[in-house]
Amino acid sequence: MSDERLVLTEVSEYIATITLNRPKALNALSPELMDELIAAVNACDSDDSVRVLILTGGPRAFAAGADIKAMIESSPMKLHVSQIIAKWNRIRDCRKPIIAAVSGYALGGGCELAMMCDIILASDTAKFGQPEINIGVIPGAGGTQRLTRAIGPYRAMELILTGDLISAQEAAAYGLVSHVYPAESLPSEARRLAAKIASRPPLAVQMAKDAVRYAAETTLREGLEIEKRNFYMLFDTQDQKEGMRAFVEKRTPTFTGE
């Protein structure tokens, strides 16, 4: 593997754009690429100049899946010791919202990576799927769980058992994708959405993300408790005071993230 960076990060106006940069392999998610991606997400999560992340790939592929060559000789114990899948949870655990901007293939681990993000935008070239069944395994980084929650058990079961792919338009109709744009418009549309979110109070955005995640992953009772806790906690922030005063004074608020 060359010394070229596998993940590129650019930060501008509170937005970090993280680009998977292994185009010759269709951004196959090698352990090295995932280590760089996790490091990039960690850096953005602790950087006060970043409020929103955009995760994207290339025009041909967001990520075409895991690196099969790197996995073919693995054993259960090797997988356990390496914690190869557990490390992926750092993407999901990022406090700041992540927008996946998907063009081309998002398959297997690539689809799972997109589903670890908080919003998925797609170009009209995007293809989604969990084709692991075709190589003798099943999704292992959340595909059976997140896809089922996103599109329902019957559609998820069909896609996972057949390995079939769906188009961006089908993914949007199923509820997996928020919006579909022409390929040339996707970067600007992703940035437009990121900028809109970045203009909101950062701590409230993080608390809202946390509460919505609980809605998808826990019971209603547990989710309501988290929502209540986060709502109360935000009354200890300067942005809450600024937002409410600005509303009463009929002016535009200035949010500082404090």
* Backbone φ and ψ of 56, nearest 5°: -145, 170
> Catalytic annotation on 215?
no
Q: Which of 65, 106, 112, 198 is catalytic?
A: 112
Q: Which residues of 178-189 are buried (b: 16+ CB within 10 A; e: fewer)?
A: eebbeeeebbeb
Catalytic residue among 114, 126, 129, 132: 132
Structure tokens that stand for 32 in this block: 């090295």
Give me the catalytic one of 66, 101, 106, 198: 66
Q: Helices 153-162 & 143-151, crossing angle to 10 degrees?
A: 140
Q: What are phi and psi of 118, to 5 degrees?
A: -95, -25
d(CA 236, CA 111): 38
156 to each of 6, 66, 126, 141, 174, how far by Cα in Å?
31, 20, 18, 15, 10
Is 101 an active-site residue? no
Phi and psi dihedrals of 50, rounded to 5? -115, 125
Residue 11's φ and ψ, nearest 5 degrees, are -115, 130
∠ Cα 126 182 95 (to 5°): 65
> Hey, what are 11's tokens?
């930060």
Residue 120 phi, psi dihedral angles, 5° rounding: -115, 120
Residues 163 and 133 sit within 8 Å (Cβ to Cβ): yes
- Please identify which of the residues 108, 109, 129, 142 carries the catalytic annotation: 109
**Does residue 112 carry a catalytic annotation?**
yes
Tokens of 104: 């081309």
66 is catalytic: yes
Looking at the annotation, which residues are catalytic? 66, 109, 112, 132
